[in-house]
Chains A and B, each alone.
Chain A
């Protein structure tokens, strides 16, 4: 058992080192941009899965990112906050909103919950487009300052003047986010959420505060899109209300489903493959959407548990085949 943990820790370590060295192999700004987007999508799809763990589907991620982006931008530009504090607030503010609206929302089940979260997202985007004095209206805000430099005299001096710096920032954010999400999922909270997902009423009958836990999952799940919204606004240094539209949220849902919502690795794989794939096939130009759709459909048709469920299914299939052979012999 100990050996297994050692091996898995070692392989994670190697993977992390590999990701750290990736910019040396792909130094171009375009490649770095795609990698940064991939890491953002991984965090977003994984946080969507945490809400999904409680049996709810939230489609407010785009709206929460918009709130996060404007929160961070306005705190830095109008109130002169440090960009790091603003980044943290960009996560907390959507979480607070999610917590407040969560209590009335979680009374709704299934698709009804999904629909009110869509409307919440749309209302946020609409407000961001109209509140001109604060948000600059539909043209948005430009020239958002870069993150404050990280300086440890003599050792580190990160100025965030190049994409590589943002790459490492995104990587650190991804590591921390995934660790938090993993820890939550494997704690007592995660277990309770799974119980609620399977049978809502049974969980309630044994004394679990299902509404409270659902709101908790919604709140934590909305922290990360806010954080990423803030990060993205500092990275692109511009923000407008349509940056994270409804389609963006739908794509996150696709990443999660294609990767496999059952497993922790699912949304990570889904976001990774489906973000990289259209970029790799870019030379095909107009056919990219068709390829994207084809991948989507093939996975749904032939892999009921998503890409993440594939190894297990292969394993089972091979064992069945072997058993058949031995039976014949």
Chain B
């Protein structure tokens, strides 16, 4: 295989990693603040893709404007879901899990009845390729990597430097202790859901530029997101980044080197082996 093809597949892997990391960050935020695995996260991502599709294709809005509006709307949806569905079950993983399975059914079927089951796609908002040193890089993938990077840095700075971010960190470490220090857990939980859903919505909008979208697309993203946060270590942002890079590169590069089947098998086996030797994930701590 030529070097150019390898570099190309690495870039594809990085673009996938960007999507996985965005999805995984939302999951890990909700998990560490509220102590629940929000499996309807994939559906939030799917709705993000559809809302941008409608605004960009049907209403003819500017692509970035569409992303901003849909992100805010879906963040609002997240706040609503936190208030109505998840607040009573904070710290009760199994019941919250069942609630979110109910949400999966509802959200998927709402979109199915509005948009229909057939896959849709939009013409790429960033056509063309960038040629550097003989390898051609499509703008879409480059922009996904860049957007992912910017959001990541912004989130990191938000959590490290602002008071609200520190409050989130405190809750993820010790919920009762944080509450005793006067941190408003309800408010921070709503914020976590807002951020998580907003990130998923952006990821959905970006994946729509690469692949076609359909109502059940969320389960794939959820699977990848969960894999990433488990691999990286639950509740850790750096872990989600490392995990996302590993899984993204495996998914981007392995199919080029071998068959898709072997690539899939190697992916699963790698994760099982990493977890057996390091049960708390790469970046996690007990």
A interface with B by C-beta (< 8 Å): 104-105, 107-109, 111-112, 115-116, 119-120, 122-123, 126-127, 129-130, 246-247, 250, 253-254, 257-258, 261, 286, 289-290, 292-294, 296-297, 300-301, 304
Also in contact, A127 and B276, with CB within 8 A (given A115-B230, A289-B109): no
CB–CB B276/A107 < 8 A:
yes
| Nearest CB of chain B from residue A183's CB, rounded to whole Å | 26
- Given contact pairs A111-B230, A126-B264, A293-B102, a sample of 9 additional A-B residue pairs in the complex whose CB atoms are under 8 Å apart: A105-B276, A111-B93, A123-B268, A129-B261, A246-B223, A289-B105, A289-B106, A292-B105, A296-B101
CB distance from B98 to the nearest CB of A (A): 5
CB distance from B86 to the nearest CB of A (A): 11
Which residues in B have their C-beta under 8 angstroms from that of A258?
98
Evaluate whether A115 and B227 lie within 8 angstroms (CB atoms) in the complex, with A123-B268, A126-B265, A297-B102 already known: yes
Please name all residues of chain A whose beta carbon is closer than 8 Å to the beta carbon of B272 when the two chains form the complex: 116, 119-120
Chain B residues within 8 Å of A109, by CB: 279
Contacts of A292 in B (CB 8 A): 102, 105
User: In whole angstroms, what is the CA distance A293 to B269 when docked?
Assistant: 34
Contact B99 A108, beta carbon cutoff 8 Å: no
Distance in angstroms from B111 CB to nearest chain A CB is 12
Q: How far is the CA of A116 from the CA of B97 in the complex (A)?
A: 18
For B92, the closest partner residue in chain A by CB is A304
Closest-CB distance, B286 to chain A (whole angstroms):
10
Known: A290-B109, A292-B105, A301-B88. A115 touches B279 (CB 8 A): no
Give the residues in chain A near B230, CB-CB below 8 Å: 111-112, 115
Nearest residue, chain B, Cβ from A105: B276
10 A-B pairs with CB atoms under 8 Å apart are A104-B276, A109-B279, A116-B271, A123-B265, A250-B101, A257-B94, A258-B98, A261-B94, A289-B106, A301-B99
C-alpha gap A194/B265 in the complex (Å): 35
Q: Is the CB of A254 within 8 A of B279?
A: no
Residue of A nearest to B281 (CB): A112
Interface residues on B, range: 35 or more
Chain B contact residues, CB within 8 Å of chain A = 37, 85, 88-89, 93-95, 97-99, 101-103, 105-106, 108-109, 113, 219, 223, 226-227, 230, 234, 261, 264-265, 268-269, 271-272, 275-276, 279-281
Main secondary structure on chain A at its contact with chain B?
helix
B94 CB contacts on chain A under 8 angstroms: 257, 261
Are B99 and A297 in contact, CB atoms less than 8 angstroms apart? Answer: yes
In chain A, what residue has the closest Cβ to B230?
A: A115
Q: Give B231's nearest chain A residue, CB to CB.
A: A115
Closest-CB distance, B36 to chain A (whole angstroms): 11
Residues of A within 8 A of B261 (CB): 126, 129-130
Q: How far is the CA of A107 from the CA of B277 in the complex (A)?
A: 9
List of B residues within 8 angstroms of A257 by Cβ: 94-95, 97-98
Given contacts A254-B98, A257-B98, A296-B102, whether A112 and B269 have CB atoms under 8 Å apart is no
User: Distance in Å from the Cβ of A302 to the closest Cβ of chain B?
Assistant: 11
Are B105 and A290 closer than 8 Å at their CB atoms?
yes
What chain A residues lie within 8 Å of B85 (beta carbons)? 297
**CA–CA, A116 and B275, complex, Å:** 8
In whole angstroms, how far apart are the Cα atoms of A107 and B275 in the complex?
A: 10
Q: What is the CB-to-nearest-CB distance from B274 to chain A, in angstroms, rounded to a whole number?
A: 10
Contacts of A104 in B (CB 8 A): 276
Contact of B98 among A129, A247, A290, A296 (CB under 8 A): A296
Other-chain contact of B106, A122, A254, A290, A304 (Cβ < 8 Å): A290
Which chain B residues border A286 with CB–CB below 8 Å? 109, 113
State the CA gap A108–B113 with chains docked (Å). 41
- In angstroms, Cα B280 to Cα A129, docked, is 32
Q: For the complex, give the distance between the alpha carbons of A66 and B33 in Å.
A: 37
Out of B95, B106, B275, B279, name the residue touching A300 (CB < 8 Å): B95
